[in-house]
Structure 1
């Protein structure tokens, strides 16, 4: 992949995080990225997500925390407008 495309896609993620939760720190962007990808995997390949959850119960719990944090930040961002 070309560096220009990577930078453009990173910009897309940054803007998405900002619109979704009202901030675009590197940590928040990473969490939004993980949340979006996990959500997509869980919807498009539920058996894979289930298998991963069973193989890595600690990671499943961390993912639950990320999901809850993104949901909370989104709700706070929406109500602050």
Structure 2
């Protein structure tokens, strides 16, 4: 991937994180990136995610905690912004 595309994708991720959570930090961006990747793969190749979850139960629990955290942050942002 070239540097320009990498920067543009980072900008897209940053804006998505801002709209989703109301603020952007590097930690939020990394969490949202992991969440997007996991949920996309879970929808497009469920058997792969099922296998991964079975292979790495601790990682599955970490991912479920991350998903809950993103949902809570999104709910709080929506409540604060009145949306």
TM band (smaller chain): over 0.9
Aligned twin of 1:13: 13
Give runs of aligned pairs for residues 56-75 of structure 1, distance below 5 A. Answer: 56-75=56-75
Deviations for 1:33-70, whole angstroms, at most 9, x for unmatched residues?
11011001111100000000000000000000100000
Structure 2 residue 24 is the aligned partner of structure 1 residue 47: no
Give the 3-state SS of the residue equivalent to 2:9 in structure 1.
helix
Gaps of 5+ in 2: none
Deviation above 2 Å: which 4+ runs of structure 1? none
Give the 3-state SS of the residue equivalent to 2:24 in structure 1.
coil
Gaps of 5+ in 1: none
Task: State TM-score, norm by structure 1.
Answer: 0.97
Structure 2 residue 67 is the aligned partner of structure 1 residue 29: no
| 1:77 Cα deviation after fit | 0.4
| 1:2 Cα deviation after fit | 1.5
